[in-house]
Amino acid sequence: MPPYITPAVVMVAFLGVVLYLLARILAGTVFGGIVRGLSIALIVLCAATILSGMVLESEHLVKVVDILLPAVTVCLVVLFQPEIRRALLRVKGPLARPFPSPDPSVVDEVVRAAERCARDRWGALIAFERGVGLGELVTTGVPLDAEVRMETIVNVFAPDTPLHDGALVIRGKRLAAAACVLPIGEGEVPETAGLRHRAALGLSEQTDALVVVVSEETGHFAVARDGKMLSIESPSALREWLAAQGTE
pLDDT-derived band at 114, boundaries 50, 70, 90: very high
Ramachandran region, residue 118 (left: φ > 0; alpha: ψ -120 to 50; beta: rest): alpha
Q: What is the pLDDT of residues 65-99, one digit of tens each?
A: 666 666 666 766 666 666 666 666 655 544 455 56
- What pLDDT score was predicted for residue 94? 46
Query: 114: burial class by Cβ within 10 Å (0-12, 13-18, 19+)?
Result: buried
- What pLDDT score was predicted for residue 181? 92
Q: Which range is least confidently modeled, 114-123, 148-157, 219-228?
A: 219-228
Q: What is the pLDDT of residues 173-195, one digit of tens each?
A: 999 999 999 988 777 776 667 88
Best CA proximity match to 231, nearest among 185, 199, 197: 197
Give CA separation, 230 vs 166, 223, 226, 246, in Å.
20, 5, 11, 17
The mean pLDDT value of the chain amounts to 78
Best CA proximity match to 212, nearest among 121, 132, 123, 139: 123
pLDDT-derived band at 134, boundaries 50, 70, 90: confident
- What pLDDT score was predicted for residue 248? 43
Query: How many Cβ atoms sit within 10 Å of the Cβ of residue 56?
Result: 11
Give every strand in the sheet of 221-225, ordered side by side: 142-147, 174-180, 167-171, 124-128, 210-214, 221-225, 228-232
Q: CA-to-CA distance for 31 and 185, rounded, in angstroms?
A: 11
Q: CA-to-CA distance for 185 and 178, rounded, in angstroms?
A: 20
Best CA proximity match to 175, nearest among 106, 102, 101: 106
Average pLDDT over residues 157-161: 90
Show the domains of the chain with their CATH numbers: 7-90 (no CATH), 104-243 (3.40.1700.10)
B/e letters for 118-146, b = 16+ CB within 10 Å, e = fewer, are beeebbbbbbbbbeeebeebbeebeebee
pLDDT-derived band at 56, boundaries 50, 70, 90: very low
Average pLDDT over residues 21-46: 66
Between 89 and 245, whose confidence is greater? Answer: 245
Q: What is the DSSP letter of 190?
A: -
Q: What angle do CA 209, 18, 206 make, to 5 degrees?
A: 15
